[in-house]
Amino acid sequence: MLQTDDLNLDLDTLLEAIDRLETTFALYDKDFRLIFANKAAHAAWPALYDGLDQGLSQWDAVRAEIALQLPKSSDREVDMYTEYTIGIVRSGKVGEITGRDGQVFRTLHESLGERGIVGIGVDLTNFRRNQEKLEALVDENFRLANVDELTGLSNRRHFIAETDSRISDQSAGFTLGILDLDGFKLVNDAFGHPIGDKLLEEAAERIRSVIGEGRLVARLGGDEFAFLLGGQAGQDSVEATAKALCDAIAKPFVFDEEQVQVTASIGMASFPDAAEDRSTLMSRADFALYHAKQAGKSQAVVFSDIHEARIQRQAKLELALREANLEQELRVEFQPVFDAADGSVFCVEALARWDSPALGSVSPKTFLAMAENSGMINSLSLILLSKALASAKTWPGETPLAFNLSSREVTARSHVDDLLDTINESGVDPSRVILEVTETALLEDNDAVVQALGGLRRQGIWIALDDFGSGYSSLKSITGMPLDIVKIDHSFLYDVEPGPKSVAVLKSICELCQTLGIQSVVEGVESETQIHELRKAGANFSQGFLLSAPMSADAMSDYLESGSRAEALTN
């Protein structure tokens, strides 16, 4: 190390070097009278060091600087800040002092004994600015990772993390709710995405308002929302909140002079009663949501022991379905569809049946839904179609066969190809096959469905829209799809006898079908009055237990051989 003598330094050189430092530097005698302050110190606190140079006391000089920095402060406040600043300086503690231009210095004053006191200030301004930028970036990244961009609510990721945290805490129970907007997709399709987005934003605000501040509300995706209600909320309070949510969503939404309306279905499950882990808890809430929708929309259902029993039954059913010899246990029954004018058979619909050795005869509605949810529907459907085609091949004449497809089957390209292969291998001409799809299938993936149905029609297969009117019906389902037949849901017939409005709606649908060159079938005919009204409405065909109950393959073959007609339609 070089010695001072070797450098030949004098005091002026040393002071000039210190004067050029960006760090503030000041030297005082033992009584805190200023000996030297560099340029950085004078620039940061000019009133302080100019005052000390002119012989002001430390108090007066510090006070003058603070008064200039805080011109709107009262004398009392200036005195208080002066006392605080001098306290930091005299104590020898590390402190932070703001300079004239908003610079922030970390200061340290150390005693040199009888030789005096040295004060050093390191400029932290850029460091703090970068720190603030980093904190802002962290906050923004957190927002992007945890907040839904459209609604400003928590997103799925944050909701799951918060739910996991509360479960880990184990300190109190809570209720998890999942809310789904019924009819949102129809609004989106009819009015476009801008209106759909506005609806989601307004719906989010209504949900947030009902749930209240301090409670977690999230958008899980699409038109699905979720919320948590604290353990202090009893069963009555939970149900009251759910009802308030349904009522809030049911009010009309008005955007750009367009008025739209949707409803809310809600499923809820409580921790730890319904489940002790987040995944199962959300599944339970989703199960309750399904039952809310089944109950007729704008409903709220809390998961209970009854639902637990249903889940156990479904688990047992799924296991039996997976272990079943489907080729042997599945069979097909048939129900004719009749010409509404003369009662002759127009076509025959295939109806799925499952006779399980373990469970007995299982409802088609139950096992088909289970097959769809468990991913088995494609293989099951091909077996049923093959059996139905084998029967149809033996029928006299060219009687068409109608066969139902699930929503998933229509949107899966590979399965559509499998359907065509099964039909072509059966020996039944494709022009004798009617494939029925539901409105649900049309709502799920419009472009894919149109493409798939168009491809099937080009092969000569008829396409029918089944159960029209059973859900959120849209005329777009009829006008925007490649259809040959519309099967009008039996719900339109329930109020036909006392209700002229239902008759008018039925007539308008039949007239629209006629205009578009589409055949109309009215399902669920159960009375002579209904036959009269469907004929007046202009329906082409009809189907129902009054006309003919489902029958076995052999019985159906005999029925067609005999040339039988629906007696109720021949009068």
**3-state DSSP assignment of residue 534:** helix
DSSP string, 473-510: --HHHHHTS--SEEEE-THHHHTTTT-HHHHHHHHHHH
pLDDT confidence of residue 9:
61
Token duo for residue 486: 């519309």
List, for residues 140-174, the tens digit of each pLDDT value. 666 677 889 899 999 999 999 999 988 888 767 89
List, for residues 186-243, the tens digit of each pLDDT value. 888 778 888 899 999 999 999 999 999 888 999 999 999 999 998 655 778 898 999 9
User: What average pLDDT does the chain have?
Assistant: 85
* Max avg pLDDT among 115-129, 435-449, 488-502: 115-129
**Is a pLDDT exceeding 90 seen at residue 291?**
no
DSSP 318: H
DSSP 519: E
Would you tell me how many other CB atoms lie within 10 Å of the CB of residue 446?
A: 17
Q: Which residues of 470-484 are buried (b: 16+ CB within 10 A; e: fewer)?
A: bbbbbeebbeebebb
* Max avg pLDDT among 20-24, 449-453, 472-476, 557-561: 557-561
The average pLDDT across 74-98 equals 83
pLDDT band at 1 (very low <50, low <70, confident <90, very high): very low
Category of 212 on φ-ψ map: left (φ > 0), alpha (ψ -120 to 50) or beta: left
d(CA 26, CA 141) in angstroms, rounded, equals: 43
**Is a pLDDT exceeding 70 seen at residue 100?**
no
Token duo for residue 331: 């069979």
Lowest-confidence range among 341-345, 426-430, 465-469, 561-565? 465-469
**Is a pLDDT exceeding 80 seen at residue 390?**
yes
pTM across the whole model: 0.61
The average pLDDT across 106-122 equals 84
Catalogue the long-range contacts made by 140-149 (C-beta closer than 8 Å, 24 or more residues apart): 148/204, 148/218, 148/219
Cα–Cα nearest to 467, from 361, 349, 547: 349
**Is a pLDDT exceeding 90 seen at residue 331?**
yes
Residue 426 φ then ψ, to 5°: -75, -20
d(CA 480, CA 165) in angstroms, rounded, equals: 47
Quote the crossing angle between the two packed helices 553-561 and 377-392, to the nearest 10°.
30
d(CA 422, CA 467) in angstroms, rounded, equals: 25
Measured in whole angstroms, the distance separating CA 305 from the mean position of its chain's CA atoms is: 27
Handedness of CA 285, 292, 244, 180 (dihedral sign): positive
**Is a pLDDT exceeding 80 seen at residue 498?**
no
**Is a pLDDT exceeding 60 seen at residue 5?**
no
pLDDT band at 444 (very low <50, low <70, confident <90, very high): low
CB distance 200 to 138 below 8 Å = no
pLDDT confidence of residue 2:
42
- Between strands 485-488 and 519-522, the pairing is parallel
pLDDT confidence of residue 8:
57
Measured in whole angstroms, the distance separating CA 46 from the mean position of its chain's CA atoms is: 60
**Is a pLDDT exceeding 70 seen at residue 474?**
no
Element (H, E) at 20: none
d(CA 487, CA 501) in angstroms, rounded, equals: 19
What would you report as the CA-atom Rg of the chain, rounded to the nearest whole angstrom?
40
Would you tell me how many other CB atoms lie within 10 Å of the CB of residue 201?
A: 16
Cα–Cα nearest to 122, from 252, 21, 204: 21
pLDDT band at 115 (very low <50, low <70, confident <90, very high): confident
CB distance 179 to 264 below 8 Å = yes
**Is a pLDDT exceeding 60 seen at residue 340?**
yes
